[in-house]
Amino acid sequence: MTVRKRMEHLARNIVENAGKIDEASVRRLVRELNRAKRVFLCGAGRSGYVAKSFAMRLMHLGYEVHVAGEATTPAIKKGDLLVAVTGSGETNSVVSMAQAAKRMDARVVSVTSDPGSSAAALSDAIVVVGGRAPGRREKDWLARQLRGGHEPIAPLGTLFELSAMVFFDSLVEELMVLKKESEEDMRKRHTQLE
């Protein structure tokens, strides 16, 4: 298979994941974002990079936003929101941050592939974004092949991470419309220290 065909395959899977996103859960996330005093984002590994990308765009939209775990991140408080990005919903550091946020009476939204996960159980709202959740894969390769199932073309959590990135970028476009923010408005908030 060529790289181009692999890209097309991934794109088809992202479109399939997009078609399964529940719009009511997206509206709940938007409400949580807009009622929060401050927004904190967390994730680990590549999901953490997706969370940081969304944090940057929220800052461009005028939200007060912080990335959990950074040296300058302030204490989370009641009235704040933590957005936890975790495909499996079981990443220890992310679940620990959600627990800490709940202890401080902050709200939590999880963006995950597994609505039955530990992170989801701690959440006030959940957005399910498709992907391959770790720990749910069948380990019997031969049985899977005989049934016609195959390993996904993308390793580990790649499909979740790509789908979550496209989800958040699409959400940014929606927030631009709702907040009547232009790209020029956002550009004025972009850092000059780069």
- Catalogue the active-site residues: 161
Could you identify the residue written with the tokens 């989370």?
76
- State the DSSP string of 107-142: EEEEEES-TTSHHHHT-SEEEE--S--TT-S---HH
Lateral strand order in the sheet of 125-128? 65-67, 39-43, 81-85, 107-112, 125-128
Residue 64: HSE in the Cβ half-sphere, 13 Å Cα cutoff: 10
